[in-house]
Amino acid sequence: ATATAVAVGLSGCGLAVPAQISTIGDVAFDRPLAIPPIAESHVDADGTRVFSLDAQAGTTEFEPGVPSETWGFDGSYLGPTLVAERGEHVRVDVTNSLDEPTTVHWHGMHLPAAMDGGPHQMVDPGATWSPEWTIDQRAATLWYHPHPHGATESHVRRGLAGLFLLHDADERALGLPSEYGVDDVPLIVQDTGFSADGRREGPQRGYAGGLGDELLVNGTRGPYLEVSDGLVRLRLLNASTARTYGFTWSDGRPVELIATDGGLLEASVALDRVVLSPGERAEVLLRPTPGERVVLRSELTAEAVGSNRVIAATNGDADSFDVLEVRAADVLDPAPSLPAQLASNPPFDPAEVATTRRFVLDDSFEINGHAMDLGRVDETVTVDTLERWVVENDTDLPHSFHVHDVQFRIATIDGAAPPPELAGWKDTVRLRPHAEYELLLRFEDYADPAHPYMYHCHLLWHEDQGMMGQFAVVEPGQRATMTEGTPHHG
Ligand code: C2O
Ligand code: CU
C-alpha cells in the first residue's frame, strides 16, 4: 500500500509551504535491524548497581555515507538498554555533554520524585546528575528520555531515548524468550523524514505535533530481523513524539499480546492489531514457521488515524507503514511451552478509593483550564491511598495521558470495562476523542512535599505547549511546599 503525501518544511507550526513529494509504505528491508547495546554496569561495595549515561551530539548515517546531525546517549543516536532486577538498588550517573540543559526521565518507574528526571531535575551542560533508587515493581519494558520543560519534543526527536528493562523472579520462572537481541528483541519505533539523498529531516507539523513519513526501528531505516527460534518476544516502544501506530502482521495472523506498559497480562490476548500511542509499550510473541518472511506493519482504523494527519497534507486516510521484516531460518529451535497464566493482576477495589479527581484535556492544550506552571502544584495526593482519576478528552482528536511514578489500572472507558489489552498495568493510555477514562492509582512509598511528579499528554509537542500538570505525594495532612517558579539546576 503506497500513498503520496505533500510534506511541509521544517517545524513551522503549519506555516511552512509544501516542499516535496514522498511515498509512504514501500520499504526495501535491506538492512539488519540494529540492536541497542546492553548498558554496562558494575556493582558497588554497598551493593548498588551503577550505570552511566552520557547525552551527546554526533552524526548518524541512516544512509551509508550521508551523515545527519543527531543526539544520543553514549553514542550518536538512541541509548543503551539498561537492565535491572526487582529488588536491586540502582544509580545512574547522567552526564550532559550537550551544549544546552536537558533531563533524563525514567518513564514507568516507581521512584522518589527527586529522582524522576522531570523538568525540575535539569542537568546543566558539563554536569552529572546521579539519581538512585530501589527497583520495586513488576518485570516490565520501561524507557528513558529527556523531559526539559518546553523542549521535550525536540530532545527526543533528535535521538535521546532508550529502554530500561526490568526482570523479576515470577517473570523469569515463566520461561519466556529472554536472550536479548536474539529471541527477546527490542523494537523502538520512531517516525522521521528523509531528504531524497537520505539525510534525516525535521518533522512535518500536524495537530499531534511533529510527524515524519518514514519509520526508524532502533534507528535502522528499512530493517529486517533474522530469527532462528520458534518463539520470539518483541518489545515494542512507541518512541515517536506524536504518531500513533496499529501494529499488525502482513499475513493477518493475530498479534499475540503478553504485556503492556507496566508488566505482563494475566494471559495472552490475540488481537488484530496493537494500538500504541506515543510513550506506550507492548510485548508480543511471534511464532514463526521455518523459512517464512512476515512483515510487521502499522495500520490504523479511520477512527484512530485522526491525530496522525499532517496539516496541509493530502495523505487523507492512508496510514499504513511497513515496520520490520522478520526472516525465519529454515530450521527453528522448538518453541517452549508457556503456562496459560502469565501473571496475577487483581484489580484495585473501587470501594477503597479515598479521593476522586477529574482531568479535562482541551483544545487549548490545557488540563482543567490551566497550562503547565513549574511553580504551581496542581494536585496533592496522600501517599499509600487509592485514587480515582477521571480523565476526559474534550477534543476531536486523540491524546495520550501519562502519569509519573505509578502503574495504574483502567477501571472503565466511557463507563464500560476496558478490553483485555487495556486491563493490565499501564502508565500511559491513548485517549479516544470525547471519551472518559476512569483510572485507579495508588502512589506508594515516597512522600515528598517539596518535589512534584508530572502528569501530561505524551504527544510531546502538546506537553511542550503546557498540556501537563504537577502533583505532590505527601504524608496525611502534609501540604506541598514546592513554590519556586524556576527549575532546579544541578
Ligand atoms: Cu515519557 Cu513525563 O514522560
Ligand atoms: Cu495531547
Helices (H) and strands (E) in the chain, counts: 4, 38
Are the C-beta atoms of residues 159 and 209 closer than 8 Å to each other?
no
Are the C-beta atoms of residues 276 and 235 closer than 8 Å to each other?
no
User: What is the whole-number distance in angstroms between the Cα of residue 243 and the centre of ligand 2?
Assistant: 11
Nearest CA to ligand 1 atom 1: 107
Q: Reduce the DSSP state of residue 217 to 3 states and report it.
A: strand
Q: Reduce the DSSP state of residue 277 to 3 states and report it.
A: coil
Strand partners, 438: 390, 412
The runs of H, that is alpha helices, within 112-254 are 152-157, 169-173
- Residue 462 Cβ inside 6 Å of ligand 1? The answer reads no
pLDDT score at 317: 44
pLDDT score at 455: 98
Q: Which ligand is nearest to the CA of 400?
A: 2
Name the CATH architecture for the domain at 33-173: Sandwich (2.60)
What number does CATH give the domain 15-21+175-333? 2.60.40.420
State whether ipTM is beyond 0.85: yes
Q: Which ligand is nearest to the CA of 307?
A: 2
- Residue 120 Cβ inside 6 Å of ligand 1? The answer reads no
- Residue 456 Cβ inside 6 Å of ligand 1? The answer reads yes
- Residue 279 Cβ inside 6 Å of ligand 1? The answer reads yes
User: What is the whole-number distance in angstroms between the Cα of residue 207 and the centre of ligand 2?
Assistant: 9
DSSP label of 76: S
Q: Which residues contact 335 (CB under 8 A, 6 or more apart)?
A: 229, 230, 231, 287
Q: How far is CA 418 from CA 115, 149, 341, in A?
A: 32, 32, 19
Amino acid at residue number 452: P
User: Which H helix or E strand runs over 162?
Assistant: strand 162-167
Kindly list the averaged pLDDT for each block of 10 residues, start to end, along the chain of length 490: 30 32 60 98 97 98 96 98 98 98 98 98 98 98 98 97 98 98 98 92 86 94 97 98 94 98 98 96 98 95 60 50 97 96 97 98 96 96 98 94 98 97 98 96 97 97 97 95 55
Q: Which residues contact 411 (CB under 8 A, 6 or more apart)?
A: 347, 348, 350, 388, 418, 438, 439, 440
pLDDT score at 123: 98
Q: Can 15-21+175-333 and 350-489 be said to share one CATH topology?
A: yes
- 243-252 b/e (C-beta count within 10 Å ≥ 16 → b): bbbbbbbeee
- Residue 426 Cβ inside 6 Å of ligand 1? The answer reads no
d(CA 189, CA 181): 15
User: Is the backbone of residue 158 left (phi > 0), alpha (psi -120 to 50) or beta?
Assistant: alpha
- Residue 404 Cβ inside 6 Å of ligand 1? The answer reads yes
Nearest CA to ligand 1 atom 3: 107
User: Is the backbone of residue 434 left (phi > 0), alpha (psi -120 to 50) or beta?
Assistant: left
Q: In what order do the strands lie in the sheet with 386-393?
A: 353-361, 386-393, 436-442, 409-413
Q: How many CB atoms are located within 10 Å of the residue 153 CB?
A: 23
Nearest atom of ligand 1 to the alpha carbon of 143: 1
Indicate if the alpha-carbon torsion angle 24, 26, 30, 34 is positive or negative. positive
Question: All 3 cell numbers of residue 324?
Answer: 520490520
- 431-459 b/e (C-beta count within 10 Å ≥ 16 → b): bbeeebbbbbbbbeebbbbebbbbbbbbb
Ligand 2 (single-atom ion) residues, CB below 5 Å: 399, 457, 459, 462
Query: Residue written as cell 542537568?
Result: 123
Amino acid at residue number 359: F
The runs of H, that is alpha helices, within 1-73 are none
d(CA 360, CA 370): 10
DSSP label of 115: G
d(CA 37, CA 261): 21
Amino acid at residue number 84: A
Integer Rg of the chain from CA: 21
d(CA 285, CA 265): 13
Task: Using alpha carbons only, give the angle 245, 247, 251 rounded to the nearest 5 degrees.
Answer: 145
pTM over 0.80: yes
pLDDT score at 19: 32
Q: How far is CA 35 from CA 194, 223, 302, 427, in A?
A: 22, 11, 33, 25
Q: Which fold has domain 350-489?
A: Immunoglobulin-like (2.60.40)
Nearest atom of ligand 1 to the alpha carbon of 279: 1
d(CA 312, CA 303): 19
Amino acid at residue number 200: R
User: What is the whole-number distance in angstroms between the Cα of residue 156 and the centre of ligand 2?
Assistant: 16
pLDDT score at 488: 46
Domain ranges for the chain, please list them.
Answer: 15-21+175-333, 33-173, 350-489
Report pLDDT digits (tens) over 153-178. 999 999 999 999 999 999 999 999 99
**404 phi and psi, to 5 degrees?**
-75, 160
Are the C-beta atoms of residues 409 and 266 closer than 8 Å to each other?
no
For the chain, how many residues are written? 490
**402 phi and psi, to 5 degrees?**
-120, 140
